[in-house]
Amino acid sequence: ARDDRFGPRWEEALRQQVRRRSADGQLGEEIVGVGGWWNDDGSQEIDVVAIAGRSRTPVLVGEAKWARQANADRLARQLRAKAIHIPGADADRIQLLICARERLDAMPADAIGVTANLVTLADAEFFAALNASQAPAFINDWTWDNGDPDNVMWSLFSAPRAETRLGYKNER
């Protein structure tokens, strides 16, 4: 199904957001890296891990769900249980990040929740918003020749490419 194919791209989009927030100092001054994590046998996977300081201590773990809504409390418990497998992580002190497209139910008070407002605009509406500085985040300049979302999402979030005419550039 198409929704199954967006999951890995959604995870990378969340990692990119954590990288931007880390660079701005919004997630702490000491974050030196953000990525995903798997244990040696692949039985444990965490979508987002932020490490801090010279010791590269894990300080934040995150789960990205492409689902429209998710039970954040259940995901937080699962995430904390997986975090104990990361070398150097203190599962009781690590910051949790939970992401779904539209809604997070039962959000724990000690976790960060992320949702998105995905909007498609006609060109005229988009450029009017852009020119009025009302487009806080956008992706433009992509066309695709078939219905495969991987054509678009993979390029946006992981492949190096030239800067677009509107100034987007994949820094990775």
pTM of the model: 0.70
Closest CA to 34 of 48, 44, 45, 47: 48
Q: Which spans in 1-137 are helix H? A: 2-23, 72-83, 123-131
Tens digit of each residue's pLDDT (9 = 90 or more) over 72-125: 999 999 999 999 999 999 988 899 999 999 999 999 999 999 998 777 778 888
10 contacts: CB under 8 Å, gap ≥ 6:
64, 65, 66, 99, 101
Joined together, the tokens standing for residue 112 give 């960060």
